Amino acid sequence: MKFGKYIEINADPEWKEFYIDYGKLKKSIKLNDIEGFVAILDEQLAIVNKFFETTSETYSIKVAELKAAVKSAKKTGGKTKRKEFVNVYKDLERLKEFIHLNFKVSR
């Protein structure tokens, strides 16, 4: 399987616009445009980094809120938000795969 197809298949559709654009990079290499390649790679890595930072911050806040809810539930004997924990875990796994795939493209 060609690498571009591998990326297309494995990229999270919801976050597709935040992945490194492998096609742009490949095109600049075919044109033997090293300066263009470096500029495109820097631009694409900035997009990935901004998305990762924003998303990580969002999930850090969610985890802190869930920890507080668990602490409160323990004190009051209430139910924990198990489903929310599972959803955050799944989203963090998606984020891990996002980083992993972008790392493969950038090396």
Q: What digits encode the pLDDT tens for the residues 16-53? A: 999 999 999 999 989 998 999 999 999 999 999 999 99
pTM of the predicted structure, to 2 decimals: 0.80
37, containing H or E segment: helix 34-76
Q: Burial, 22: exposed, middle or buried (Cβ in 10 Å; 0-12, 13-18, 19+)?
A: buried
Percent of the chain with pLDDT over 70: 93
